[in-house]
A and B are shown apart, each in its own frame.
Chain A
Amino acid sequence: MSGGRDLHSVQQARELIDQLRRENSYKREHISQCANDLIRYCQDYQRDDYLIAGFATDKLNPYRPKNNFQCQLL
């Protein structure tokens, strides 16, 4: 029985090595390039990011504060 367990572990270990070999062969880019790309993306889209820039007018906000003459159940 222990032989069966070992075979299973050997199989798993071989699969792990195959996976690690694949991951090891990945062509990594430098953090300087990657970090700059992320920052540039943020800068390109930040003006239109409502959660940072807010809404130009209240009317654009679909959740704008309701008008005075609308009833609200408290």
Chain B
Amino acid sequence: MSELDQLRQEAEQLKAQIREARKAANDTTLASVAANLEPIGRIQMRTRRTLRGHLAKIYAMHWASDSRNLVSASQDGKLIVWDSYTTNKVHAIPLRSSWVMTCAYAPSGSFVACGGLDNICSIYSLKTREGNVRVSRELPGHTGYLSCCRFLDDNQIVTSSGDMTCALWDIETGQQVTAFTGHTGDVMSLSLAPDMRTFISGACDASAKLWDIRDGMCKQTFPGHESDINAVAFFPSGNAFATGSDDATCRLFDIRADQELAMYSHDNIICGITSVAFSKSGRLLFAGYDDFNCNVWDSMRQERAGVLAGHDNRVSCLGVTEDGMAVCTGSWDSFLKIWN
């Protein structure tokens, strides 16, 4: 056997050991533990606001920490910052590249970021002395499209890319501080842990990975999905996360058990999931689908509790406010809707 064959064999043995160790921890299922949980009843929400203004498909949205403003990105080449209470457009920011795939709001509210097929993460300052919005930094370095970005603070941002890596950037210097390598497919989405010490990434290699932000190490890898993972979101306690995939399922993975706890699927759901988010208690899991709907799942009992229907095209993005009072959906139909 060549050295390569020996190494490959050793890798397969280690994978088998990991599978065994996961089985050993598998003493029950979430479904059986949750069987006695009081069902939450039918969840019926209304569209409270429709945000009109984009002229093309919306690809991403992100709430500000104030639970009032939000930023959306569309392939009409604009980022729009909205006041969701009044539906007013606070800023309409023309982009250098219209092929935008992601956007993010800094926790301070002072910056937004976006990126896409230009492979660059662009940072925009919303609070300049002159009163206008301008690019304050461009972060080139990825060799593939920017699929997702999230601010840690005004000077640090984490990105995920079609080049199969994630990166932590120092915005002031414009440099990559840490590269997170290991995925063997385009990384499509990332979610920061509530304590901001780790993050989860989901990729086209059908796995999710947990990363330590400081040392760049992949702590755990979560297989299970059968196709691209398009979306990931942390459970509010930080001990679990949900994923959404082209395999038409969402799943719940527990970090301390190091494995899948639940699957959210139905025989008549055959399309991919684009986006996922939890309600404030974690009991509701919102998932946006290619079939124009957003399903609301009881995350513990793994039952569908409701549906948000109202878009005329794919739901491409969604998010729940920090105060838990509303959920926003964004769609290829060019509209955003606020529901509660």
Contact A49 B281 (CB under 8 A): yes
Q: Is A45 an interface residue (CB 8 A)?
A: yes
Report yes or no: A23 in contact with B284, Cβ–Cβ below 8 A.
no
Q: Could you tell me if A31 and B26 are in contact, using CB atoms closer than 8 angstroms?
A: yes
- Contacts A19-B182, A30-B25, A35-B28 given; indicate if A41 touches B237 (C-beta within 8 A): yes
A69 to chain B, nearest CB (A): 17
- Find the A residue at minimum CB distance from B14: A20
Does B29 lie at the interface of the complex (its beta carbon under 8 Å from any beta carbon of A)?
Answer: yes
Q: Which of A19-35 contact B (CB under 8 A)?
A: 19-24, 26, 28-35
B 1-43 binary contact with A (CB < 8 Å = 1; else 0): 0111001101100110110011011111110011001001001
| Interface range for A | 35 or more
Q: A65 → chain B, closest Cβ, in Å?
A: 8
- Shortest Cβ distance from B146 into chain A, in angstroms? 25
| Interface contact B18-A51, CB-CB below 8 Å | no
Give the total of B residues in contact with A, Cβ under 8 Å. Answer: 64
B residues at A contact (CB < 8 Å): 2-4, 7-8, 10-11, 14-15, 17-18, 21-22, 24-30, 33-34, 37, 40, 43, 45, 48-49, 68, 84-85, 182, 217-221, 235-237, 239-240, 254, 256-259, 261, 279-284, 299-300, 320, 323-327, 338, 340
A-B residue pairs in contact (CB < 8 Å), sample of 23: A6-B2, A13-B8, A13-B11, A19-B218, A22-B219, A23-B219, A23-B220, A26-B258, A28-B21, A31-B28, A32-B27, A32-B28, A34-B256, A35-B261, A39-B34, A42-B299, A42-B300, A44-B281, A45-B280, A45-B282, A52-B43, A63-B48, A63-B340
Other A-B pairs, 15, CB within 8 Å; known A38-B282, A61-B48 = A17-B14, A23-B18, A24-B18, A31-B27, A32-B27, A34-B239, A35-B28, A36-B33, A45-B280, A45-B281, A52-B284, A61-B325, A63-B85, A63-B325, A63-B340
Q: Are A51 and B11 in contact (CB under 8 A)?
A: no
Residues of A whose CB lies within 8 Å of any CB of B are 6, 9-10, 13-14, 16-17, 19-24, 26, 28-39, 41-42, 44-46, 48-52, 55, 61-63, 65
Residues B7 and A14 in contact, CB atoms below 8 Å apart: yes
Q: Is the CB of A38 within 8 A of B281?
A: no
**In whole angstroms, what is the CA distance A28 to B18 when docked?**
10
Chain A residues in 8 Å Cβ range of B283? 42, 46, 49, 52
Neighbouring A residues of B11 by C-beta, 8 Å: 13, 16-17, 20
